[in-house]
Amino acid sequence: MKSALVDYSKADMGARKECEEMGKFKSKDIVQITAVATPAAEASPSYCRISGLLDPEIAFEVSLPAKWNGRFYMIGNGGFAGDALDNPGRVTQRNEALKLGFAFAQTNTGHDDARSLVQLSS
């Protein structure tokens, strides 16, 4: 981070909308959406966690820090197809990005290991 061309510690842009308002967004492709204001904790600063489901079954999360550095950090599936969005490794990545002031997003691109395992055992 010290050798970066951008000083990520300058996260000074605040929210333009209340977190709860984000959970009211409507779209024909959004099956479910929630927005929860999460207070600061040891692992992360305060942020708005927006999560939901896109039709037919694509889980997503967008986490917006209270103070934003103007940058975006996203993770997807890659070699981790099927991981839950609350997988400890994903949560660690989210929290580290939020600490640096990044807006964070992730998706499972429609792959759900837990659901697949239940279907295979049936």
Task: Give the length of the chain.
Answer: 122
Q: Give the residue among 108, 103, 10, 17 at the shortest CA–CA distance from 57.
A: 108
H or E element, residue 95? helix 88-99
In this model, does residue 106 exceed pLDDT 80? yes
Domain ranges of the chain: 19-121
pLDDT of 34-51, one tens digit each? Answer: 999 999 999 999 999 999
Regarding pTM above 0.85, the answer is no
- Compute the distance between CA of residue 17 and CA of residue 80 in angstroms, rounded to an integer: 33
Residue found under tokens 């999560």 = 51
pLDDT tens column, 51-62: 999 998 889 999
| The pLDDT of residue 81 | 66
Rounded CA-CA distance 17/38 in Å is 15
Q: Which helix (H) or strand (E) holds 74?
A: strand 72-75
